Structure 1
């Protein structure tokens, strides 16, 4: 809508530092260091800032996305609900793609172009009920300054609310998100499911916010915001509350009305995305760049420091060479398969996989036990909707807790492995991220619905007739011996009693059957979730092991390269005469000064980020 509708420009200073490091690595003929620089460059030049827009059914999620990009890309009719995640990203021209899951584990997702006018037929419950097209997501590209810096807005399914099977899809995407915007309209304060979801999101996503929508429809929205703030404080959630109105935003865009745009609340939301979300992502990227470049500078300087020490202290050069030889031997051991860090990594992954599986199964059993306890005291046919929502929330809560435990332990393991390298002169790899995605959780089918009792009046009458007939005949025949008729008041009364008992027994049998069905449905659903998440955990930990192994192996090779260069330079300095020493010392000091400038430029990035 305006020039201020942007999130974050490219970090030119970080790019300049990377360019300087690239020239240095190339000039000093260090392809190993050049690869490190190139790997971290994409975090600055091609950032991806994923923002999930979540919420209950018809809380204004799609309208919020449309208001941010100033285009009706997500369907928002009153009878339309989002059934498939919709990602809105930058593109040179308007475009849309339907995305299906990959046919095999290593293949990329299948993408097919679709018309923008047909998006509703793919993403809405009306056009794609129950996601019968089996879509993974829909991607929409727009030429918007807001999106040009890497911002990706994801409109998540809201069918059935946060306490539904669609919440599993949202939960599965939380670890990959940079921020979560929970939409809740101003008609009422935050509900218990919404607060539970915010608590879960806090454990999986670095930044969360609550967007109060439709403020133009509800004059008392300020009171609702204060109630929401009290709920967040009670839950110890630091999520900001941002009141917005998509209608005012649309009207302001149509009339280019700056004051109306301010009243819509969207400038505050854009400020949050720019300062908190993009700022945090940019800060992390800057720190990663600084750590990599400072590590590159240290590796480049190692050779010249050793050479300078040998040049300025010929008497101690023998000890210097001996120290470098011992260092080279230790670094060579780091590259071996029997290296201690390899054993730490292998044993740590095995222990973590076993502990994660045990933790998940324990939590699953607790959910099943709680569900069975609740089922024993209710009629599942009558209360199934409430029980189903509780089951979704309980399972999602435990999955998130188990996932948080696993990722926390994985980060600790990466730190323990890095300690083996901290003993040497090199720094540990800077960009070793712990990524264990939940890829199969959204593929778990929802549980079967337990139907309420549906016996008709005729059916109950037939049950009563079957139960009473035997009693009437038995008492009637016994009474005929005494001269009474077959159908007498006593036999009929007895038949009524037995008929009522038959109806009661049938109801109890049907209730018992529904409870048994509900128990089986809950067990099956929890088992399916456990199976899916357990598979994700095992696969993710294996990928993590390979990632850490490759990263630390490369670090060991870099250390050996630097140590070998330092050792050769020191040996050469020992053999030099006095005139050569003086001339070479000037060259070495000049090289160290240039490398120091590179390191200072990288350190300034971190210092500026901290201010």
Structure 2
């Protein structure tokens, strides 16, 4: 077999999408050389259909945050706006998609969401909402999904964070980008004064974890003379204190929404341009585009791993053809080593069981540390603030503690998976088997479980920092990432906090302790189930891997013996063919490495421009 060059693969090398062409070329080589599973995994990872994009809007109280959100999606009152109240739950504004009807609202209640009319949204998610202030309301949603009438950002979800908490550090975590995520953090301030100290401190912390940040100066229509100097001063302050250029855009949300309602396209475009919303959208879209490279880079890295194995195989074949006598002893020793592993499976199975048990224990220790931090933090907060303060906004309180619990549980599961991966991958020398083992392990825990990715752009509408845990989704959310059963338990426990709030501090502290205990027990059971599924998966696959590898080595021994009997002309022809293959694969590896370097540099560098 001869590995063809790019010209001979039939793969398009159009300059319009060099990344796709390079990945296709690499996958063609992998398939020709029998690495079909690696090629398929690389293509799956590179698929942008799995990528979730979001724009997270944050800001201090009364900075016009919800009005800006409505301007961004070009829809009046998509997120409730009222001078007398503010949102107390996270609102996700998702574009239309199959299963999501424009204008509908789904409230995120414990166990499952509930669809309501758009006119009822403010009653459930604002501090002065009728349902929120009604003491007869047993449970309140900790979030809502609003389906907008238009797709302003190519499938991206706009997230309106609760206004009652001001600039909460968790809002920056909400915008944290993960391996399959493109996210922009929009920080709002208004045109009455330059950035305040709390706003600057938040931006300093946020830019440490979020690559793409934009500052929007709102209410320019109310400060016609002052807003431009304020924008200039904010740019200067950001450059001075953060030492990186961050876009600062002046916006009139009022004029932007009015412009969006105009029927004449030219008049609408002119109005959006003069309002500043068009410029803000351009900055956001540019930064969302940066994240589109992330899946491609991930796919290319997987293909690169496979190409290196192909290169090693060809190099070994070449060494056999050139000097079979020298290679034969090494191959024989490798075959004997693998056979011994196969014959003494009890030993490596014992070590595997030990490593997986240690991974589970390490994860539980980590969980205990996180839950203790949550307990201390909220105990101090309850004692310091008093129940009366928390009762003023139970919805925000509940949403915060729910988020902290789910983040701790998700991080615990991820810690177990990471340590299990570290123990398993060296057995196979590849991530391909691990991907399948992880999928089977998590898939066996709950029918709706997904790992690290989402199945469509209609999903992933929850906190992106909890990519391994989620909630039980229905019509609008679909199968959201996560372990629905566990999340459902925590949601029920958290919402019982409304009753505890009404019963006094002692009951509230008791509820907190019991809820943390529920989270610990649920996660421990989850890890035990994961361990029970993962261990046999690894054992069975490794046994099969040993048998297949022994067969491959035996074939090479046979090839080496046959090569020793070849005449000189045939040997030279074989060496020439294998040398051609080695050079072709080496060139493809170099191309993939260079492209990964360029795309990674683009993602890291352009975010600061």
TM-score band by shorter chain is: 0.5 to 0.7
Task: Tell me the secondary structure at the aligned position of residue 85 of structure 1.
Answer: strand
Residue equivalent to 1:88: 94
Post-superposition CA distance 1:514-541 (Å, at most 9, x none): xxx6532541453366346546755776
Q: Is the 8 A contact 1:50 1:151 kept in 2?
A: yes
The answer as to whether partners of 2:188 and 2:216 remain within 8 angstroms in 1 is: yes
Instruction: Report the equivalent of 1:37.
Output: 42
Task: Say what the alpha-carbon RMSD is for the aligned residues.
Answer: 5.4
Q: Secondary structure at the match of 2:221?
A: coil
CA displacement at 1:563 relative to structure 2:
7.1
CA positional deviation for 1:347: 0.6
The alignment's TM-score, normalised by the length of structure 2, stands at 0.64
**Deviations 1:533-591, CA, capped at 9 Å, x for gaps:** 54675577668869987799979977975675355235313313134433333332333
The answer for the alignment partner of 2:160 in structure 1 is 155
Query: 1:119 matched to which residue of 2?
Result: 118
State the 1:312 CA deviation. 0.7
Q: TM-score, normalised by structure 1?
A: 0.64
For 1:528 and 1:119, the matched residues in 2 are separated by: 36
Q: Secondary structure at the match of 1:437?
A: coil
Matched, 1:63 2:67: yes
Q: Structure 1 301/519 Cα, relative in aligned 2: closer, same or farther at 3 Å?
A: same
Counterparts of 2:70 and 2:37, CA distance in 1 = 45
SS at match of 1:147: coil
CA offsets 1:6-62 (integer angstroms, 9 cap, x no match): xxxx993333334334433443344432442343143x3442212333445664344
1:568 to 539, 545, 555: 555
Instruction: Pick one of 311, 320, 325 that aligns with 2:335.
Output: 325
2:325 corresponds to which of 315, 329, 332: 315
1:74 matched to 2:78? The reply is yes
Rg larger for: 1
How many Å apart are 1:292 and its aligned residue? 0.5
- 1: distance between equivalents of 2:70 and 2:35? 48
Tell me whether 1:23 sits opposite 2:28 in the alignment.
yes
| Aligned positions, number | 515
Is the 1:344–1:417 contact (alpha carbons within 8 Å) kept by the matching residues of 2? yes
Q: CA deviation at 1:295?
A: 1.2
Are 1:245 and 2:252 an aligned pair? yes
For each residue in 1:440-479, what CA deviation from the matched residue of structure 2 results, as whole angstroms up to 9, or x when unmatched? 466623556989xxxxxxxxxxxxxxxxxxxxxxxxxxxx
Of the structure 1 ranges 590-599 and 75-84, higher mean CA displacement relative to structure 2 is found in 75-84
Q: Which residue number in structure 2 is paired with residue 605 of structure 1?
A: 595
2:313 maps to 1:303: yes
Aligned pairs (5 A) from 1:450-599: 518-524=504-510, 526-527=512-513, 530-531=516-517, 534=520, 538=524, 561=548, 564-565=551-552, 567-576=554-563, 577-578=566-567, 579-599=569-589
Please tell me whether residue 137 in structure 1 is matched to residue 144 in structure 2: yes
Measured in 2, the distance between the counterparts of 1:569 and 1:228 equals: 65
Deviations 1:274-295 (A, max 9, x none): 344431x233223211211111
2 CA distance for matches of 1:521 and 1:232? 49
Separation in 1 of the partners of 2:299 and 2:172? 31
CA distance in 1, matches of 2:520, 2:531: 16
Pick closer, same or farther for the CA change 1:47–1:548 going to 2, 3 Å. farther
Question: How many angstroms apart in 2 are the aligned matches of 1:175 and 1:534?
Answer: 27
CA contact (8 A) 2:59 2:188 kept: yes
Runs of 5+ consecutive residues of structure 1 not aligned to the other structure: 1-9, 452-516
Residues 211 and 244 of structure 1 are in contact (CA less than 8 Å); yes or no, is this contact kept in structure 2? yes
1:319, distance to aligned residue in structure 2 (A): 2.7
Q: For 1:190 and 1:393, locate their aligned partners in 2 and report how far apart those are by CA, in whole Å.
A: 28
Among 356, 362, 368, the alignment partner of 2:379 is: 368
- For residues 158-177 of structure 1, the aligned pairs below 5 Å read 158=163, 160-162=164-166
Contact 1:303 1:567 in 2 (8 A): no
Residue 216 (str. 1) matches residue 224 (str. 2):
no
Cα distance, 1:342–1:370 mapped onto 2, change above 3 Å: same
Go from structure 1 to structure 2 and tell me whether the alpha carbon gap of 1:314 and 1:322 turns closer, same or farther (over 3 Å shift). same
1:343 corresponds, among 347, 354, 364, to 354
CA 1:186/1:340 → structure 2, altered by over 3 Å: closer, same or farther? farther
Does 1 or 2 have the higher relative contact order (CA < 8 Å, sep 6+)?
2
